[in-house]
Amino acid sequence: MFRLHLLLLSSCLLLACSQEKPADAAVDSGPPPVPADSLVSDPDSPVTPVPPAIISGTADSATSAAVVWPVPFQPTAANRCARVAARAATVYQRPGAKAPKFGQLTSGENVTLLARTADGWVGFDPATAQAANVGVFRLRWVRAADAFGPAAPACADLPLVQAPPAGCLLMATHPVPVRARPAGNAAQISLIPAGSYARIRAQTSATGKGWTEIEVPGQAAPGYVAEADVNLNGPCSGQ
């Protein structure tokens, strides 16, 4: 009997040793990685996507560069031309016979010319107090042929300037910001350089209190200037 139990025990031991030893349990590393290009954002995710960076001033700078304002006029000592009036001639506030009259240039009067226009007008500083006027608006104008005669030698070295248009104008005594809407937080679309100017538009109820509507060169839409930056020249009543 004892031998029978011993044989059974030996058989069990041999059977256990003959079975294949199980491999060590593998470490669970989670689901296989998903390719990056197959990822889809969860619409229910509480994380808000970050928008692209916005460079402050880029759009305003591009718009500003696209606007061409009249070139500011600054007289120089080198480009002057002394003349003596050959006859009396009417002096105007701007270069044009329809501009307001300023006074009279008498025959024999000495005058130092500082600028000229393409259509035959010459400008000089009248040596009168005019603190509010800047650039080309400090000059007074005569038709060269009227004052000095058609045979008078030309002052070819005088700087050629763009004649200010008729109407009410804004003179820029300093760089003047121009905004897209009549509001201080509106986008700045341009900057009028000191000594330049802009034409004032007829003001409407949409202009906004404390703002002046102007024409922007090359653009159909108007611009807006704060009243603190407005310095007017010309017939501006009712504007």
CATH number, position 209? 2.30.30.40
Q: Which residues pair with 211 in a beta bridge?
A: 226
Q: Rg for the chain (alpha carbons), in Å?
A: 42
Same domain, 145 and 179: no
Tokens 């009543």 found at: 237
Indicate whether 108 belongs to any domain.
Answer: yes
Between CA 183 and CA 96, with CA 224 as vertex, the angle to 5 degrees is: 165
Q: Give the E-state strand segments of the chain in sequence order.
A: 81-84, 89-92, 101-105, 110-116, 121-124, 140-143, 169-171, 176-179, 188-192, 197-199, 211-214, 223-226, 232-233
The DSSP output letter for 31 is S
- For tokens 């058609």, name the residue: 150
How many Cβ atoms sit within 10 Å of the Cβ of residue 182? 19
| Residue-wise pLDDT tens digits, 190-220 | 999 999 999 999 887 767 789 999 999 999 9
- Are 144 and 182 part of one and the same domain? no
Q: What pLDDT is recorded for position 93? A: 92
Q: What is the DSSP letter of 87?
A: S
Supply the pLDDT for residue 152: 82
Residue 19 lies in a domain: no
- Which residue bears the tokens 């000229």? 116
Within-domain flag for 95: yes
> What is the structure's pLDDT at 53?
31
141 & 87 share domain: yes
With CA atoms as reference, report the closest residue to 168 among 192, 137, 140: 137
Helix (H, G, I), strand (E, B) or coil at 214: strand
In a domain, 164, yes or no: no
Q: What is the CATH number of the domain that holds 138?
A: 2.30.30
Last residue of a domain, one of 125, 155, 185: 155
Same domain? 144 vs 206: no
Evaluate whether residue 191 is within a structural domain: yes
Structure tokens at 147: 């004052």
Is 61 inside a domain boundary?
Answer: no
- pLDDT above 90: percentage of residues in the chain: 51
Domain stop point among 155, 186, 216: 155
Domain shared by 147 and 90, yes or no: yes
Q: What is the pLDDT of residues 39-98, one digit of tens each?
A: 333 434 333 333 333 222 334 444 555 899 999 998 888 889 999 999 999 999 999 998
**Is 217 inside a domain boundary?**
yes
Picking from 126, 155, 184, the residue at the C-terminal end of a domain is: 155
Task: Give dist(CA 50, CA 137) in Å, integer.
Answer: 52
184 and 120 in a single domain? The answer is no
Structure pTM? 0.66
Question: Is 173 found in the same domain as 151?
Answer: no
Q: Are residues 102 and 136 in the same domain?
A: yes
Residue 52 lies in a domain: no
What is the domain extent for residue 227?
Answer: 169-233
Number of folded domains in the chain?
Answer: 2
Whether residue 180 is found in the same domain as residue 151: no
Give yes or no: residues 143 and 206 share one domain: no
Is residue 54 within 8 A of residue 204, CB to CB? The reply is no
